[in-house]
Amino acid sequence: MNSLASVGNKAIAPKLITYPIVETFHSIQGEGTWTGMSAFFIRLAGCDVHCPWCDQKESWTSHIYPQQSVQMLAQTAKAANPAMVVITGGEPLLYNLFPLTKALQKLGLRVHLETSGAHPFSGQFDWVTFSPKPFQVPHESIYSQVNELKVIIATEEDLHWAEEQAEKVPAEVIKYLQPEWNHPDSQSLIFDYILDHPQWRMSLQIHKFLGVR
Ligand code: SF4
């Protein structure tokens, strides 16, 4: 992202600040509390968490993607008329998200974040989905910001990670276990676990069942 401060001696207007963008698209939210609702996705490029089962590996390298300005992103999102804008990645907290979130909210849009929390928190959001990964310990600044905790479960070990993370978020946070798509056994693992641990809910990626993005 361009610096807020200056290029040479000239300050950059917030609307001209840019981010590397893998894609933007209008779909339905497929996961968590807002499942089934109209959502415009902004997928930022760049991630250093490197989960082995990541389904967005093509997003890891930021410099191969074009930069888009805050102004362009906000206008495109507004034109889609979604129920919410979801800023995702990659790992969006690699960047200062204040300029983008402010511009979206100024247009009356509801703004959500999906993050692993691996970097310091930035931006102003209407909803924060925290999906911590054991491959890079989350930054402490995320825990007070979370609305829903969504832990991806591939193996039984991940359930321990989920419980560790659940202890660190506020009590009212909604807690989801989501099967890792390429580990079909994880569905029954979660099913059985939730019967014994009623504080958890299951989240399914309905966009994958529907065959849409
Ligand atoms: S944090 Fe997300 S984008 Fe990054 S490697 Fe893990 S699943 Fe992929």
Which residue's CA lies nearest to atom 2 of ligand 1?
Answer: 90
Ligand 1 pocket test, pick from 56, 119, 135, 152 with the greatest ligand atom count within 8 Å of Cβ, gives 56
Q: Kindly state the DSSP code that residue 209 receives in the 8-state scheme.
A: H
**Taking CA 209 as the corner, what is the angle to CA 155 and CA 29, rounded to the nearest 5 degrees?**
90
- pLDDT score of 84: 98
Give the chain's end-to-end CA distance (angstroms, integer): 26
The Cα–Cα gap between 104 and 88 comes to 14
Q: Tens digit of pLDDT for each residue in 162-189?
A: 999 999 999 999 999 999 988 889 999 9
- Find the residues whose C-beta lies inside 6 A of ligand 1: 47, 49-51, 54, 56, 59, 89-91, 116, 133
Burial per residue of 92-112, b for 16 or more beta-carbon CB atoms within 10 angstroms, e otherwise: bbbbbbebbbbbbbeeebbbb
Give whole-number Cα distances, 197 to 35, 65, 87, 146, 151, in Å.
22, 42, 30, 21, 15
Q: Are strands 111-115 and 67-69 parallel, antiparallel or unpaired?
A: unpaired
Alpha helix segments (H runs only) across the chain: 70-80, 98-106, 156-166, 185-196, 206-210
Between CA 162 and CA 142 the distance in angstroms is 15
* Domains contained in the chain, CATH given: 14-210 (3.20.20.70)
Q: Model confidence over 40-96: pLDDT tens digits?
A: 999 999 999 999 999 899 999 999 999 999 999 999 999 999 999 999 999 999 999
pTM of the model: 0.94
